[in-house]
A and B are shown apart, each in its own frame.
Chain A
Amino acid sequence: MERHVKENPSEGQSPVTDPGHSVKCSPVVIDDVLLNGTTLDIPAAEEFIHQSMAIIVEDAVKKATDVREKVCEWRSPDQLKELLDLGLRDGGESDSKILQRCRDAIRYSVKTTHPRFFNQLYAGMEPYSMVASFIAEALKPSLYTYEIAPVFTLIEDAVLRKMMELIGWEEGGDGIFNAGGSMSNMYAMNLARYNHSPDIKEFGLSAAPQLVMFTSQECHYSVSKAAALLGIGTKNVYVVPSDKRGKMILSALENKIKAAKSEGAFPFMVNATAGTTVLGAFDPIEEIADICEKHNLWLHVDACWGGAALMSKKHKHLLKGIHRANSVAWNPHKMLMACLQCCAFLVRDKTSLQLCHSSGASYLFQQDKFYDISYDTGDKSLQCSRKADAFKFWLMWKALGSSQLEERVDRALAMARYLAEEIKKREGFRLLMEPEFSNVCFWYIPPSLKNLPDGPELYEKLHTVAPVIKERMMKTGSMMVGYQPHGDKPNFFRMIVISPQVSKQDMDFVLDEIHRLGKDL
């Protein structure tokens, strides 16, 4: 039996390659290749890792989160290609050259951890999650079986259970972490379909009746992509209109279901969104659940964005009724700031995930293992190799506790509220709607347009404002805020407030900066 060599692991020592490794064994030659032991020089490798880590901490952690530094250093694609010297060649390069490449990659990358990065539904730096990522990257486990990833399998299970508790499933359920909210939504659709007609798994859809599903016009586009991929067809995703606050209109949903049935189609699922991508709106889940129950439809709640509200006593009412869902998608890598990817798919029924996805591959899921094989969760997934994403959430949860996670959510929403109030006070800024979550959508109306009445002329001109301001902010590197058109509305900004490192001053700065960049338009 091998024994641990180091008695005192806290004493920093560089590892010693086994002296017996290359000495006792006489070299062997096969096919003119001399086999004389491992070619990896561990001490040199360790030195390289330490140096690269120093660069990472300095440039990608410290500077990247420093409000005095730029959010991005814009270069055109052609310029950037030249600067990076991307070409892959026959010969290798020295470690110092590689370290320079690391510096360059950092320099020209957008600092998504910067306090003034508001562009997407993720932002900020969460060091505990990051450490968990590093561990996972170093260990590189794959979560298909317990034998390969014992620790991470158990951790994933613990995290899923806790999330189910927050959803309100007293009897528990099932779930899995997967490679994105889009994938979670896809899983939901697949399970809902399987639930409706399990035969489809084997026989496919061509002989099946026309299955249709319902979702709001504000839903995430992954619903459409999933329908296409699954062979259901985007046409069979019936889009239900939403009201002025971005919420699904219930009567419209009911009507569409009835209409679909009378046309001979088979409704099988409703996708409700808790926290829509642009407006941050929450569909009325409780009422949608009533409708689903009545018509026997699978209810999936896409809470990828809004699921974080479940951590907050104050705001969880936004997802009232979610315990009645059949499945939920929730991405801790968004507002809760776990490192990308960190996406959970949860399902109330305890067997459908396994039944729907399994293929029983005998090379991986042997039935005669010496441990309880119900811990081999891999067959529940559509992936084979699967990363230890839940761990990134677990370690930070251990560090912060639910109470601090709750604080984060409350603070983000309070900050959004503050921003909305400021927008209302300032001339030249117009709020689209009172934020329900932490999406603050608004127009900047430059002085030259302020006297134009509402109408097509204003909208046309307004539409050109945001893109220019965006270009300017990126070229200055002062901040990043997204814009988009929406329905018939001209381009408006969508501020997303997430990170606890963001302060009131940053909110003021956003408005000041937009004005500074756009007042001459």
Chain B
Amino acid sequence: EPLIDHAEGQLFLTQAFNIIVEEVLCKGTDVKQKVCHEWKEPEELAELLDLELREGGEGQQKLLQRVRDVAKYSIKTSHPRFFNQQFAGVDYHALAGRFLTETLNTNLFTYEVAPVFVLMEMEVLRGLRQLVGWTEGDGIFCPGGSTSNIYAMNLARYQLFPEVKSQGLYGLPRLAIFSSPESHYSVKKGAALLGIGTDNVIMVKVDDGESKLCSLSVCFFQGAVPFLVSCTSGTTVKGAFDPLDRIADVCDKHKLWMHVDAAWGGSVLFSKQHRHLMKGADRANSVAWNPHKMLVAGLQCSALLLKDTTNLLKRCHSANATYLFQQDKFYDVNLDIGDKSVQCSRKVDCLKLWLMWKAVGSSGLAERVDKAFVHVRYLVEQMKKRDGFHLLREPEFVNVCFWFIPPSLRGKEGNADYQDRLAKVAPTIKERMMKQGTMMVGYQPLGNKVNFFRVIVFSPLVSQKDLDFFLNEIERLGDDL
């Protein structure tokens, strides 16, 4: 006898869905509601949620209550006043795509189990590549930008030393990677994972062309072989864009693989006005781009795009498992793309982007990007009019980094303990904003700069009223410090 009662399951689905729409989509995007529920310490929250997994199951009503609780205590990342990370907001077409993806529950390893999505992924990658400036190429969706960066590293290494795949790194010369100190930490994690070693990731300040070349010659001298430059279009904290053309010149000259981590900044390519920030991207060998960030596609949606047309991706990664990639199938087995990946099961991440792109068109996506820049201009203008907001630098992108200097500290830059006291401001304001649930914005130190705020503005739900609120709220929360 089948153990599943479809009618009951489907009823639960429908009821739960209504709760999700109400609690997460409506309330969660409503500026009159909180971004985060009343703060709970972990132990307290654990008790409230009643986490324990038991022998016996529970009834529908109890489960629906659990659905409500999870929604209630979770951060409303689509809220107009969630500025904490590089993802935010909601696009309803993408969301429908995500629900559909979950329901169809399939994997992208072969055409036979995912015919629609294998073809769709190819088309989406083609569309993204076109924006980079490539008429041909390859690519794949990865479970995150970190994985994209790791793949690029692996491909670059394989291209130079294809024997690494079978022999490993023993007996090979020490390999070296160039990156900048502002690059994402996945470059280092990738180097550790790949057996290259974090020490062999050489950090070069990119706007100092001279020192980059010096580093290269130091490398050759010490017997290390540089093979990759991993540069960034849209750094995590500041939103800075590396000068890709100049980097491409260096890479061309020394035959290095050029990878552009455009996980964050890639979306500028949609905008005629702002794509110049990534001028030279087409000269790269690979580009990582996460539509789940600025394009609001929803986690995960991370593409690795390649210029290569020699099937490098597949050659590098393939293991030719005979139980999955049979060569005697009745359709063109080149459509079994699974062996391009290091993953076996791989989620369908393209549907949400495709559906949204179909709904709003490239021009609609470009509009969003442009509007984000405009909002940032507005925010910066307003900030400059107010005392106490001290910009780190003029934003190049949509990361606005600034210190809030409470009245008690203004004019006291000369004091010996100024930096220490300033460092404590952001964490305290952050704590207050979270406990009151009014908004969320991140802070961090960077190099020798003490804690400053990083407000990220791009969500299509944000209005300039939210930006005014943001400035008022920082003042309100921090004036007494």
> Which residues from chain A contact B80 at a C-beta distance below 8 Å?
38
List A166-199 residues whose CB lies under 8 Å from chain B. 179-183, 186, 190, 193
Query: Beyond A9-B22, A207-B174, A467-B328, is A340–B465 a contact (Cβ under 8 Å)?
Result: no
B53 touches A158 (CB 8 A): yes
In the complex the two chains form, what is the Cα distance from A127 to B6 in whole Å?
9
Q: In the complex, A233→B354 CA distance in Å?
A: 37
Could you give, for residues 328-358 of chain A, a 1 whenever the CB lies within 8 Å of some chain B CB and a 0 otherwise?
A: 0001010000011101000000000000110
In the complex, A243 has a CB within 8 A of chain B: no
Given contacts A90-B362, A141-B74, A402-B53, 14 further A-B contacts (CB under 8 A): A2-B33, A18-B30, A60-B104, A125-B4, A130-B102, A135-B20, A138-B28, A158-B53, A181-B345, A226-B342, A228-B165, A359-B188, A387-B300, A394-B53
Structural contact, A231 and B123, CB atoms closer than 8 A:
no
A323 contacts B by Cβ under 8 Å: no
Q: What's the interface size class on A, roughly?
A: 35 or more
- A474 vs B157: C-alpha distance when bound (angstroms): 40
B105 and A125 contact, CB distance less than 8 A: yes
A52/B9 contact (C-beta < 8 A), A228-B165, A235-B168 known? no
Contact with A along B152-169 (1 / 0, CB 8 A): 001001000000111111
Q: Among the listed stretches A79-87, A430-438, A450-458, which one makes contact with chain B, having 4 or more residues with CB under 8 Å of it?
A: A79-87
The B-contacting residues of A in range 140-157, CB under 8 angstroms, are 140-142, 146-155
In the complex, the answer to whether A401 meets B106 with C-beta atoms within 8 Å is no
CB–CB B199/A202 < 8 A: yes
Chain A nearest CB from B260 CB (Å) reads: 17
Are B460 and A40 within 8 A (Cβ)? yes
Chain A residue numbers with a CB within 8 Å of B194 are: 229-231
Closest 9 CB pairs of A and B: A233-B168, A231-B195, A204-B197, A500-B3, A127-B9, A179-B143, A401-B57, A205-B195, A158-B51
- CB-defined A-B contacts under 8 Å, sample of 11: A86-B119, A90-B363, A92-B363, A98-B96, A102-B96, A106-B104, A110-B112, A134-B102, A139-B24, A147-B434, A179-B347
Q: Is the CB of A401 within 8 A of B56?
A: yes
B215 at the A interface (CB under 8 A) = no
By a CB distance below 8 angstroms, the chain A residues around B464 are: 25, 28, 35, 37
Docked Cα-Cα span, A38 to B81, in Å, equals 12
Chain-A contact segment, one of B226-234, B251-259, B329-337, B405-413:
B329-337
Pair A341/B347 contact, Cβ less than 8 Å: yes
* A133-B102 CB under 8 A given contacts A33-B374, A81-B119: yes
Interface string of A45-69 (1 = CB under 8 A from B): 1101110110011001110110000
Q: Cβ of A359 and Cβ of B42 under 8 Å apart?
A: no
Whether B99 contacts A52 by the Cβ 8 Å rule is: yes
Which of A5, A139, A162, A231 is within 8 Å of B164, CB to CB?
Answer: A231
Name the contact of A102 in the complex, choosing from B14, B119, B355 (C-beta under 8 A): B355
- Within 8 Å CB of A186, what residues of B? 193, 342
List the A side residues contacting B99 at CB < 8 Å: 52-53, 56, 134, 137
Which residues of chain B have C-beta atoms less than 8 A from A65's C-beta?
6
B21 close to chain A: CB less than 8 A: yes
Known: A135-B71, A206-B174. A50 touches B51 (CB 8 A): no
Task: Give every chain B residue within 8 A of A221 (Cβ-Cβ).
Answer: 319, 321, 344
Q: What residues of A have a CB within 8 angstroms of the CB of B12 in the complex?
A: 127-128, 131
Residue of B with least CB distance to A32:
B374
Which A-chain residue is minimally distant from B373 (CB atoms)?
Answer: A31
Assess whether A49 is in contact with B25, with CB atoms less than 8 Å apart.
Answer: yes
Known: A40-B461, A88-B357, A397-B53. A75 touches B444 (CB 8 A): no
- A-contact bits for B429-450, CB 8 A (1 contact / 0 none): 0110010111010111110000
The CA-CA distance from A205 to B168 in the complex, in Å, is 8
Chain B positions within 8 Å of A154 at CB level? 42, 45-46, 49, 51
Q: Are B40 and A150 in contact (CB under 8 A)?
A: yes
Q: Which of B102, B145, B374 contacts A384 (CB 8 A)?
A: B145
Q: Verify if A210 is at the interface (C-beta below 8 Å from B).
A: yes
Any chain A CB within 8 A of the CB of B472? Answer: no
Q: How many residues of B contact A (CB 8 A)?
A: 187
Q: Which of B63-113 contact A (CB under 8 A)?
A: 63, 66-67, 70-71, 73-78, 80, 84-85, 87, 90, 92-93, 95-96, 98-100, 102-107, 111-113
Restricting to B326-365, which residues have a CB under 8 Å from any CB of A? Answer: 326, 328-332, 335, 342-347, 351, 354-355, 357-364
With A4-B33, A109-B115, A485-B322 as given contacts, are A137 and B98 in contact (CB-CB < 8 Å)? yes
Complex CA gap A39/B347 in Å reads 31
Q: Which of B23, B58, B434 contacts A399 (CB 8 A)?
A: B58
| Shortest Cβ gap from A471 to chain B (Å) | 4
| Cβ-defined contact, B342 with A182, below 8 A | yes
Contact A1 B436 (CB under 8 A): yes
Chain B residues near A131: list those with CB within 8 A: 12-13, 16-17, 67
Given contacts A49-B25, A234-B166, contact A362 B461 (CB under 8 A): no
Residues of A within 8 A of B300 (CB): 179, 385, 387
Q: Which of A244-252, A253-261, A366-374, A508-516 contacts the other chain?
A: A366-374
Residues in B neighbouring A190, C-beta threshold 8 A: 193
Complexed CA–CA distance, A224 and B326 (Å): 18
Query: Which residues of chain A are within 8 angstroms of B55 by Cβ–Cβ distance?
Result: 401-403
Identify B351's interface contact among A72, A105, A401, CB under 8 A: A105
In the complex, what's the smallest C-beta–C-beta distance from A223 to chain B, in angstroms?
Answer: 9
Alpha-carbon distance between A499 and B105 when the two chains are bound, in angstroms: 14
Residues of B448-471 at the interface with A, using a CB-CB cut-off of 8 Å, are: 451, 454, 460-465, 468
Q: Please tell me which stretch of A284-292, A293-301, A314-322, A404-412 contacts chain B, meaning at least 4 of its Cβ atoms lie within 8 angstroms of it.
A: A404-412
Measured CB to CB, the nearest residue on chain B to A464 is B328
Asked if B197 and A203 make an inter-chain contact with CB atoms under 8 angstroms apart, the answer reads yes
Query: What distance in Å separates the Cβ of A146 from its nearest Cβ neighbour in chain B?
Result: 7
Tell me which residues across on chain B come within 8 A of A1, comparing CB atoms.
436, 438
The answer to whether A45 and B92 touch (CB under 8 A), given A38-B461, A134-B16, A500-B2, is yes
B323 engages A494 (CB within 8 Å) = yes
